[in-house]
Amino acid sequence: GESVGLHLPTLSVQEGDNSIINCAYSNSASDYFIWYKQESGKGPQFIIDIRSNMDKRQGQRVTVLLNKTVKHLSLQIAATQPGDSAVYFCAEREAAGNKLTFGGGTRVLVKP
Amino acid sequence: NAGVTQTPKFQVLKTGQSMTLQCAQDMNHNSMYWYRQDPGMGLRLIYYSASEGTTDKGEVPNGYNVSRLNKREFSLRLESAAPSQTSVYFCASSPSRTSSTDTQYFGPGTRLTVL
């Protein structure tokens, strides 16, 4: 079936460096994508979203890029901080529906 | 405004026991969802409710039942728990039935162990 996946299960990054988390999706009918952050013992927390009619969206220290040609989504975190250590999930939603399909998650470890 | 709340936080069951996981949201959202999260895996949808009075199966509904008690509350019931249902369960809600940008907001989770 359709699925959302991630390329890197664990990403180690030096504090202050930029982080890039990648996600591949396979459902060409998806029109909405979200990145969530999940800290240990907590529920997923919304970070940023993007609609399929956009290719870039920026938030506070985060940027999401969408490449529909190759069905690729990425999350960039600028100046990574210790508080950014968490598991990051991408999720996609098929047009005309309200169900999200989640990827497997990437763990980001920030080294001091 | 507490957002999405879940009870209990932790639960241990024996095989064959039943229990109900409770979820409530105070954001006046129409849609509510139940997910399970297993180690090394993403969230998988069990059931969802697009509006009060309606429920639909998700990806992994077997062994579960749900009740949308009112707009605020959405419960998940395990009638006869099995070890394969050991997982962390998350409830979520979103504002509208269908929306072009409809973010889901998650509760803190219930960690369930079935022995």
Please tell me the distance from the alpha carbon of residue B79 to that of residue B56, in angstroms, as a whole number. Answer: 18
Of B42, B50, B109, the CB nearest to A104: B42
Question: Does residue A8 carry a pLDDT above 50?
Answer: no
Q: What six digits make up the tokens of A28? A: 């060409």
Strand A45-51 to strand A100-102: parallel, antiparallel, or no bridges (unpaired)? unpaired
Task: Answer whether A96 sits within 8 Å of B58, measured CB to CB.
Answer: no
Q: pLDDT tens digits, residue range B4-16?
A: 999 999 999 999 9
| Mean pLDDT (whole number) for A43-70 | 95
| B102 vs B67, residue with greater confidence | B67
* Mean pLDDT for the stretch of residues B67-91: 96
Q: How far apart are CA B34 and CA B74, in angstroms?
A: 8
Interchain proximity B101–A51, CB inside 8 Å: yes
**CA distance linking residue B60 with residue B57, whole number of Å:** 8
Interface test with B, best of A32, A49, A51, A98 (most B CBs within 10 A): A98
- The pLDDT value recorded for residue A111 is 93
pLDDT at residue B98 in the model: 61
pLDDT bin (cut points 50, 70, 90) of residue A7 is very low
Is the Cβ of A53 closer than 8 Å to some Cβ of chain B?
A: no
- Least confident piece of the model among A43-52, A67-76, B99-108: B99-108
Interface mutation vs chain A, best among B10, B30, B43, most A CBs within 10 Å: B43
Mark yes or no for CB contact B98/A34 under 8 Å: no
Chain A positions touching B31 (Cβ under 8 A) are 98
SS3 breakdown of chain A: % helix, strand, coil, rounded to 5?
Answer: 5, 55, 40
Q: Do B106 and A98 touch (CB under 8 A)?
A: no
In this prediction, residue A95 carries a pLDDT of 73
A60 min Cα distance to partner chain B (Å): 18
Contacts of A10 in chain B (CB under 8 A): none
Q: For residue range B22-54, list pLDDT tens digits in order.
A: 999 999 999 999 999 987 778 999 999 988 889
Q: Which residues contact B39 (CB under 8 A, 6 or more apart)?
A: none
B67 band by pLDDT with thresholds 50, 70 and 90: very high
* Cα A68 from Cα A11, distance rounded (Å): 24
Instruction: Identify the pLDDT of residue A29.
Output: 87
| Residues A59-71: tens digit of each pLDDT | 999 999 999 999 9
pLDDT at residue number B100: 57
- C-alpha A110/C-alpha A12 separation (Å) is 6
Average pLDDT, chain B: 92
d(CA A104, CA A28): 19
Partners of B104 on chain A (C-beta within 8 Å) are: 34, 46, 100
Task: Report pLDDT for A6.
Answer: 42
Average pLDDT over residues A25-48: 91
Question: Residue A76: pLDDT above 80?
Answer: yes
pLDDT of residue A94: 80
What per-residue confidence (pLDDT) applies to A1?
36
Summarize pLDDT for A9-24 with one digit per residue, the tens: 889 999 999 999 999 9
Kindly state the average pLDDT of the residues B78-93.
96
Q: Is the peptide bond before B8 cis (omega within 30 degrees of 0)?
A: yes
Q: Which two tokens stand for residue A98?
A: 């309200």
CB-CB: which of A96, A97, A105 is closest to B42? A105
